[in-house]
Structure 1
Amino acid sequence: MSVTATDTAVLDGTPAPEAPTRRARLRFLRGGKTRTGLLLLAFFVLLAVIGPWIAPYDPDAMSDQLLQPPSGEHWFGTTHTGQDVLSQILVGTRGVLVVGFVAALIATVLSVLIGVTAGFLGGAVDEILSALANIFLVLPGLPLIIIVASFVPDTGDLLIAFAIALTSWAWGSRILRAQTLSLRRRDYVEAARATGESTWRIILFEIMPNLTAVIASGFVGTVIFAVLTEITLAFIGVADISHWNWGTVLFWAQSNQALAQGAWWWFVPAGLCIALLGTALALINFGIDEFVNPRLRTATGSSRKVKMRVGFTPVARKPPVGAPPEPSTSKEPRP
């Protein structure tokens, strides 16, 4: 049976902390940044699911309407070969999110397993796992992925996600190790040890719940990194350009000088999607930070009124003992 912080407080004779209320549990979802980020992310997830079915045209289909601006027939215009840009954006959304979330999931699992294990067990296990994390920290991530993608003939989404995950788990592992080192000597952990709980049960039920926010923040940050890395690989032509994603759209637009030809509709939609998805994930990350650290929360209502001070605050200085009194600098009013 696991001993929690409430049980420890009762044993010590101190009043047990109150159970978290529904208001406290839903504070994260009620934040303005969090709601906005989740709505934007849900929109892109919906596009990733239904995008290939609602695309008006085949993204590879060519037509005689070359470099046409947005119109009723082609909402986002066409490319130099008459391909529909909207269809390319809709079909490419799935690949972007699949790589982002799969890479983040693999990297988060690796960072939790290695970081928490190293921090809690310590000793030789900590030294070996920390050395492994340090090795991956010094490896250049993007150049290594470019080399792997160049030598593999079929660089699908899953292969790119796995390569990104292998080069992005070490930072999260170091952070989780440091947090675990500060938690393993807490009173409730010592109480669980005293009752004979196994090591892995203590990690799962005593340590992990206190690392949830750190793990979630690291997961969201890894999604951002994975998405930008995949788009970069597609934009420079390293990834398989036969698989549509937003980076592939930018690659073909740049290769055919869309900017020089004034075909802004070719690259602006993909750029806006990248910016909106990055903004959504960043807002969710900010919401996690505000939920964990109450000092970061924005004041509302009457608490928004801040008294501004102009100039320096006067400080009264006491003269030393035996010193003559300082002359008054105030001027008497003239008659």
Structure 2
Amino acid sequence: MPVPTTTIGAYPKPDYVPLRGWHEAKPEDEQGRHPSDPTRPLRERGRIDAEDEQRLLDRATHEVVGEQATLGIDVPTDGEVRREHYVFYHLRHLHGIDFDSLEERQLRQGGWTAYVPVVRGPVQAGARFLRHDWHSAQQATDRPVKITVPGPLTIAGTIANDHYADERELCAALGDALNQELRDLAAAGCPWIQVDEPLFARHPDKAAEFGVDNLARTLHRLPEETRTAVHVCCGYPAELDQADYPKADPGAYDQLAEPLDLAPVDAVSLEDAHRPADLRLLERFARTTVILGCVDVARSRVEDPDEIAGRLRRALEHIDPHRLMAAPDCGLALMPRKLARDKLRALVQGARAV
């Protein structure tokens, strides 16, 4: 029986998309700001009519969703075409976040420094926006399209807080605001919703203490027919084939397995291609589906489908067949388009051979 496949989030943007990603920025702009300044992609998208921009974004979304489906991905994502950054895109739709007076912060346990938006007041949901994103993507295929959102702990670790007493209080407010958006998205008919929480792997203690509770807050009262997932990868490089970059502790998944299996979520997405785990880890997921990373998003080498099939067969020695899916480790944004296609083609061939 073939193992179902999905993608995790970002997909390489077509060249005509006016809003580029954070990783495509030049090293410094005229003010000497870091490329992670979240206002830069918005300022650099050029002069274009808003309606024309939306038409281009819809066109690009249809293109990348259709491409994933043509390659055989069972549950494609919208490719995050509309996003300059997987966190900041969502923050632009919340009240209480200041994008005008940025502050410099060290992120990911000192991995790099960036200019980030600041929480200046109560965080509240703004006008709904994901419903449109999903409708645009779903029109490209009859396969169920997944929409992703950053989770509260990951958002809190990517911005500055000048309003709430502590991180726990901020995360609770973020969870409530995200939940309003996700309930509207589910009501529109979106079949798959994924919450991205890579900081769970960086801070498994915080994840266990209050992160999983706020994941539940984020997904509260979604309809039973809406499939939900949480994505927990171990770190993203600054560029493809970077020799060394800071990753989460390899023991983090062991600490997270039980809390995540007890969380009100249908699936847990884990990185495994770049840094393979002891597959006995899967035995600790007694209830949830595991979306296993089988494609390395940090390296340009294209995986052999037979290698992927072999890894999945070994995984099936530790988990029920109906609770295993295959995916890339994370989003594919760093890759040239052809490389992303080649890797997904290998993923599908390997998963279908099992």
TM-score normalised to structure 1 length: 0.22
Report which structure shows greater RCO (CA 8 Å, sep ≥6): 1
TM-score normalised to structure 2 length: 0.21
Q: Which structure dedicates a bigger proportion of its chain to strand?
A: 2
